[in-house]
Structure 1
């Protein structure tokens, strides 16, 4: 928020105050029928304040929007740069979801941050300064009236906004829960309709969704009622303040009393924007915090260890990393250094921490302790979503300029060309939202093909051949590793028959790296139970 926007806003409110005071004095004094010369200065003041108020109001909007949009543009560049060099930190909205969903969330958060500056911070600052000036003016004219205006300004500018913000915070939590519950029930009706019909539960699920929709509507009406009540309270305080000033200034004369009463009304009108600003602040502040968290996620690391300044492209390392889910340690003091260009198999029994290790390497989970030194210029975590589009369109999301020959080649690496040739429309065949029309193994391999097509410097895969038979799974892994061309590839797998394909083996147990073998791998296969 620039000082120019604040200064222009304050000047506009002070001109409104001066316009009201001079107009009130002019009307009250003119009623006494003085010589016209006695009214000349007031007439000039009314014209000057009226013209200046419009000019300063325009400058306030111009400077405010220029500052907010300029800041948002710079922040958008920093956000995209942060997202390009690593996934969202834990706690960010959309962390762990698909890249498109996460980016949509963050763009919405950027817009919310812009509103936070324009519709919350600027009105609140201007209201505070203008309200203080109005109180000082009234106090100088008549201290008792100034005290009444001060009390009204504190009530309308602080007490009512604070109460409105507290109510908005409580109702906001209820609204978020109600919306999430309704979204879950709607997803059950759409994605699980076939199962619901099969079990005769469609009517029950529909009725539950309708009840939740009504519950959400009631909560939204309550939220709207609270907002209306807060504005009504502010208006009531304004009226009561004007009445109090009229009573306190009754003995000052008609002209002074008129000036004080009308000035009190304008003073309280100047602080009224603080009420909706406080409610909006509660709603938008988390969004701004999420954007700052992403943009500043690398601030804790020394400059030579930040992800966007890779010292060695393709290298990842962990130093004393600890991650806990509640009271359960998922990673317990992990130290790991993976050299660039190596292929690494991560093994261990269920719950050993393999997937959490991969998520930390990808930046999807932030360590509670320790450092994750991520040094890929571009890294790609195995995606988990196929879009309601054709095979070609799903693949082109990784490389928009790829031709059909390149798409067929990458599908051949994951042993999908036979499947492709059997499709009615080949690459133009729709796969359905989430790959609904595909078998589990086909869906996994299509996602893997998309990851390979992106050609990242670091590729992180979590059980990429889980749904395949042993022979096909080994063949797919072999194709992926043969085609890596210096890429660092980390694969969580339970296939002991494929260990010979990897350069390094990492065995995990109870959240710790029990063994990191980059040489003789003969005894490794017996060191843990199969997952």
Structure 2
């Protein structure tokens, strides 16, 4: 896991190496400043010639300046590397999410995915800022300190090495053992809390409508309380490792003084170096103490990485061929003996479905809810692949075509078209980023929405609100029509586009849609039997099977399921009721 994370550093290798070098320079400057300052004070007490102290004096000045410069430069470079790295990681993770939609993400909650994309990726900064770099700096500092003390006495060097290893390895291992499980639990609970919050925000209207505020509050409080308990334990472990680090650094100074005093009295080491030796080991602990925090955070970071890779490593169920076939000029859409189920062990949603939508043709798929109608739209766009049979575009199996190429030829308008919390312009340019204002206004005019947008103070730059909540249901659907028009795809798939509209708004929407359908192949998927007389063929689905097919007039004469559905709808409309 750590090696895989380290692999993401490869593009920033030079910057990362510079950050480590600057970290070592910072510690060296600090050790040099402390130790030489102590040496100067001790040496000055002996009243030597000033010339004898000139070199240490200049070195103290140099280390005093270089310490601040090196620390600033190290923070600047290391954070620059980290932020570039996290940005790349987040982009990489999102690029891995896209191919999984929708099949690979069925078992994940949107709030948890958001937590993985944002907070789990942010958590990995601890790996790079507080693990990899500090470990390399600490290793270099330890080697340098031991080498310096060895020139005075092997005993002093070995004693220093023991304390540095105890603080740099022993304390972190203890902290990691105490916090590893807690770190994983903290990340899991944080993801659960994010999911609960997102669910609550998205469903706040229903929560208020059903008086479920107290239940939602208790649910949120339970998860938050569990997270707080884990965080308190983590804070205790953090305090413990900090205290042990301080204890070992002070003990190291004391032990080195005890070992050095006999060397001074025997004349093996000059007395002016006594304070020098004590402050060398004290300064070295500046590089060692951060390792305790590093390993304390490692459990949490490892769990965050596992959560990211758990999703990123899932294999997409729909993949492009290598290489993909060129897109055919023909725009016919055909289903040949298609059967489909969403997951292994679940019942089939479609059974041996066959039909053809020729260029410029109009086919409607109708039936009761749960008949498998929307699945047809998913398969046409290749969001899923059929279990058996073929979906063909232009006479070619869609599995032989690149997904992006196929979807560029098909525009979808559904009952739950997503509108981004942005402007009209941004939502329309999603379908055609290079579209001009003239093309945008033309599409809005066809969708009967240009009048509304012109009346707004900011025109195309007016905000539609989150999920288009500043617009009515009919306006949202007409904006979806305008977006489909700007794409200018030859095939138009309509998946229950009027399902959430009242009768009057539905009529206005269908009037706007009628012009948009001109010159395009249209696959209408609906349970609202409005405008069916304009369809070339109507397929009646029931439990995933075609039970009737024909024109509107033919199906009414047959007196089957279609006739009963049409009669029921007509009765409800004549009595002032509605389908929804």
TM-score range, shorter chain: 0.5 to 0.7
Supply the distance in 2 between the matched residues of 1:396 and 1:509 (Cα, whole angstroms): 39
Aligned partner of 2:342 in structure 1 is 324
1:235-272: CA deviation from partner (whole Å, max 9, x where unpaired) = 12312332553465442444575146314522323425
Which of residues 259, 263, 266 in structure 2 aligns to 1:251?
259
C-alpha spacing 1:138/1:165, structure 2 compared with 1 (3 Å): same
Q: Cα RMSD between the aligned structures?
A: 6.1
Which of residues 512, 516, 530 in structure 2 aligns to 1:483?
516
Give the C-alpha shift of residue 126 in structure 1. 0.7
Q: How does 1:4-83 map to 2 (within 5 A)?
A: 4-30=14-40, 31=42, 33=45, 35=48, 42-64=56-78, 67=81
Give the C-alpha shift of residue 230 in structure 1. 3.8
> What runs of 5+ residues in structure 1 fail to find an aligned partner?
197-201
Aligned partner of 1:410 in structure 2 is 447
Q: Secondary structure at the match of 1:127?
A: helix
Supply the distance in 1 between the matched residues of 2:108 and 2:330 (Cα, whole angstroms): 24
Count of equivalent residues: 499
Q: How does 1:431-442 map to 2 (within 5 A)?
A: 442=474
Supply the distance in 2 between the matched residues of 1:152 and 1:449 (Cα, whole angstroms): 66
Supply the distance in 2 between the matched residues of 1:244 and 1:525 (Cα, whole angstroms): 98
Supply the distance in 2 between the matched residues of 1:389 and 1:376 (Cα, whole angstroms): 23
Q: Which has the larger radius of gyration?
A: 2
Q: Secondary structure at the match of 1:324?
A: coil
Establish whether residue 241 from structure 1 lines up as the match of residue 248 from structure 2: yes
Supply the distance in 2 between the matched residues of 1:452 and 1:86 (Cα, whole angstroms): 22
Establish whether residue 147 from structure 1 lines up as the match of residue 162 from structure 2: yes
Supply the distance in 1 between the matched residues of 2:189 and 2:90 (Cα, whole angstroms): 30
Give the C-alpha shift of residue 125 in structure 1. 1.5
1:278-309: CA deviation from partner (whole Å, max 9, x where unpaired) = 47736864896699689x97995345439xx9
Are the counterparts in 2 of residues 352 and 509 from structure 1 also a CA contact under 8 Å? yes
Are the counterparts in 1 of residues 124 and 304 from structure 2 also a CA contact under 8 Å? no
Give the C-alpha shift of residue 207 in structure 1. 3.5
Supply the distance in 1 between the matched residues of 2:146 and 2:428 (Cα, whole angstroms): 67
C-alpha spacing 1:279/1:242, structure 2 compared with 1 (3 Å): same
Name the TM-score, length of structure 1 as normaliser. 0.66
Supply the distance in 2 between the matched residues of 1:366 and 1:66 (Cα, whole angstroms): 43
Q: How does 1:294-373 map to 2 (within 5 A)?
A: 301-305=320-324, 324-325=342-343, 327-329=345-347, 343-346=362-365, 350-351=369-370, 353-359=372-378, 361-362=380-381, 373=401
Are the counterparts in 2 of residues 96 and 364 from structure 1 also a CA contact under 8 Å? no
Higher relative contact order (CA 8 A, sep 6+): 1
Establish whether residue 398 from structure 1 lines up as the match of residue 431 from structure 2: no
C-alpha spacing 1:481/1:297, structure 2 compared with 1 (3 Å): farther
C-alpha spacing 1:529/1:305, structure 2 compared with 1 (3 Å): farther
C-alpha spacing 1:6/1:50, structure 2 compared with 1 (3 Å): farther
Supply the distance in 1 between the matched residues of 2:109 and 2:410 (Cα, whole angstroms): 15
> What runs of 5+ residues in structure 2 fail to find an aligned partner?
1-8, 151-156, 262-273, 391-397, 430-435, 566-580
Are the counterparts in 2 of residues 460 and 489 from structure 1 also a CA contact under 8 Å? yes
Name the TM-score, length of structure 2 as normaliser. 0.61
